[in-house]
Amino acid sequence: MNNTDAMAVYDTSLKQQGSRPPAHTAEAACVPQQNQRQSTVKNILEDINAGKALEAEQIQRAETLREVDGELKSVAIEMLENRVSPDRIILKLSNIIMHLSDDKVFYKKVQALVHKNYSDR
């Protein structure tokens, strides 16, 4: 086979394989590794970004908890100084928590416990 025939065979196989080099060439062996590296780098970057977003969310939650904690403490201290009953303090604090977290189920549970406590007396 002369050089012209070899090129014709190579060109035919490129067309048959969708313009990819034949599988037995060194170039073909590198293509999957490049795709794999790009995919791995992309996955690593996505993981880093997801980690940063999660960290930012956790920082925001911690700040919110500090604010809520401070507000609850100041309300509780003020109510204790005014000699408000513990049940009313619990209701007030649970009301604050409900409004800050939009957790109406929590508030109803606390309210039911306080009312049960009143009825047991």
Give just the sign of the alpha carbon dihedral 8, 14, 15, 19: negative
Q: How far is CA 38 from the centre of its chain?
A: 24
All residue ranges of the chain with pLDDT < 70 are: 1-32, 101-103, 114, 117-121
The distance of Cα 85 from the centroid of its chain, to the nearest Å, equals: 41
Say which residues have a Cβ less than 8 Å from residue 10's Cβ, sequence separation at least 6: 22
Segment 85-99, tens digit of pLDDT: 888 888 888 777 777
Closest CA to 98 of 71, 79, 60, 62: 71
What pTM was computed for the model?
0.39
* Percentage, residues of the chain above pLDDT 70: 65
Q: In whole angstroms, what is the distance from residue 5 CA to residue 35 CA?
A: 32
Q: Any alpha helices (H) in the chain, and if so which ranges?
A: 3-16, 26-81, 86-101, 104-120
Tokens of 46: 């996505």
